[in-house]
Structure 1
């Protein structure tokens, strides 16, 4: 059940199987590391953000693609169990997307993504209500994101990850970009965006308008276990917070608290409380 202030969010993005090995330290090139433990979970930036948004209290539907196999059915079931409407998740002949992840004892990671079915994500015929918020990422085709931006006037938030050159038209159209500090450094064109949230890990986050900082929030102390889903939880929380009427600083603080809760849990889709539980009183 959602609150009156929580938005309706349509997430357009990736859905992956995360195959994760936890080891003492990350291997160097050509090196084999023994003694790892293996887990298999649902992941993908799109799925992670959709699940987080639903757990935080928004009404969420997912636009994505999975394989026509047991993996695809399992992925849809996992999202449905998180409270996400998966009726518009397509099944395609390609295998479901897969991420191969290695995480060390300091929660640092190495990730290789095999997009698989995610290459078939489309949003050309997407029907939206005027108050729906769109949240997308760059693990799907940039061309799909551009068409989505051009075909809708709805509020559009883009988690611009992984980093890549962005066309001027998209920069001007998007209402909110969310990136980490490394991605922000790789995309100087974001200095022309109307609103950008930049995350700095344990040092918190900032909001910038046309390259000028307008708000900043400190990080929340926690013990890092897995950083893979923390940024996705932050994205979901920030979008909900902004559309729940919070001030920019309060929205950032709440999103940082959610990110800290996520990084302290081993799963890429950690259990989360309603967003109101993370608001600083």
Structure 2
């Protein structure tokens, strides 16, 4: 990974979110309930949805600041590795008495993963902590949030934001309804989209992505981006629905690919792209992130060759 990132002219991105150490194991297939399998790996690497998205954006040239927390433990060094290397602003990253957040990731031979997250220091990113960085958040052109911090911290960050709010509520946790509806766009996969509708007390009748996107718009979101894995993505805005193709690749590890998409999306939005064009670029970055192991370890930097969409 590069240690010096060239910044293109763009607007300020502030990511308020989680910072984890990822403990990754690899298995031939995922175990069934009650089953024990032998695996490989067991090493720590940098992760956390907030940190992943911040690093992805910074590597692509975004002007990024991170608001989050880690512990005073050995895992913090692994968790902060790529945040430091990417050159983003880390002045709002605190060291707490809680342990660094931990994600236990199991990756199958097909590249699919399961993840269990232990919040640790991320649980300290509450409203009171976010308030300590109110000036930074108010000064951001884009504030990017996920679901791995307390709801009070999420809600307060949205309250403070004077610029555009982008939300990837993953995992889908209870947050303030009106705060959530300020997302522009809401970024979600199909499963998360259905859970968001349920949280808004709008039961959905279909798992069809097009219908989910329409229902999210009807629920009050100004714009929506649904990520559909190998099927690409779907943008819903005032122009209707736009399908976003993704390059056809053979994935090695899908861990953090959605976060790479999110980081790429906000970087292009910060540079003035419209949502559809930003999503087209983000789909290519997300595909690139599946071609190597790990989350932040796999993210491309600005200027690197990205997979192309066939017949584009």
**Residue 46 in 1 paired to residue 27 in 2?**
no
User: What is the alpha-carbon distance in structure 2 between the residues aligned to residue 175 and residue 276 of structure 1?
Assistant: 28
- Secondary structure, counterpart of 2:285 in structure 1: helix
Give me the whole-angstrom Cα distance separating, in 2, the residues matched to 1:156 and 1:184. 17
Q: How does 1:1-281 map to 2 (within 5 A)?
A: 1-4=6-9, 6-121=10-125, 122-126=129-133, 127-128=135-136, 130=139, 132-188=141-197, 189=200, 190-191=216-217, 192-209=220-237, 213-269=240-296, 270-274=298-302, 278=306
Whole-Å Cα distance in 2 between the matches of residues 251 and 96 of structure 1? 32
Structure 2 CA distance for aligned equivalents of residues 61 and 275 of structure 1: 21
**Cα deviation code 1:228-248 (max 9, x no counterpart):** 110000001111122322233
| Structure 1 residue 216, shift from structure 2 partner | 1.9
What is the CA distance between 1:276 and its match in structure 2? 8.6
Deviates more, 1:83-92 or 1:51-60: 83-92
Q: TM-score, normalised by structure 2?
A: 0.83
Distance 1:206 1:275, change over 3 A: farther
In 2, the alpha carbon distance for the partners of 1:148 and 1:131 equals 11
Distance 1:27 1:271 in 2: 28
Deviations 1:10-37 (A, max 9, x none): 1110010100001100001111111433
Length, aligned pairs only: 279
Supply the distance in 2 between the matched residues of 1:173 and 1:35 (Cα, whole angstroms): 43
**Cα displacement (A) at 1:275:** 6.8
- State whether residues 230 and 263 of structure 1, in contact with CA within 8 Å, keep that contact through their aligned partners in structure 2: yes
Equivalent residues of 1:205, 1:217 under 8 A apart:
yes
Deviations 1:58-105 (A, max 9, x none): 111111100012322443343111222212110111110001111001
* Equivalent position SS for 2:14: strand
Instruction: Work out whether residues 107 and 253 of structure 2, in 8 Å CA contact, stay in contact via their aligned partners in 1.
Output: yes
Tell me, what secondary structure is at the counterpart of 1:100?
strand
Contact 1:237/1:275 (8 A) holds in 2: no
Distance, in Å, in 1 between the alignment partners of 2:185 and 2:299 is 25
Distance 1:162 1:231 in 2: 12
| 2:232 and 2:283 in contact (8 A); partners too | yes
CA gap 1:78/1:246 in 2 versus in 1, 3 angstroms: closer
Moved more, 170-179 or 6-15: 170-179
Looking at structure 1, the residues matched to 256 and 78 of structure 2 have their Cα atoms a distance apart, in angstroms, of 19
Q: Report deviation, 1:277.
A: 5.6
Following the alignment from structure 2 to structure 1, what is the Cα–Cα distance between the partners of residues 98 and 173?
25
The offset of 1:113, in angstroms, is 0.5
Structure 1: stretches of 5+ with no match in the other structure? none
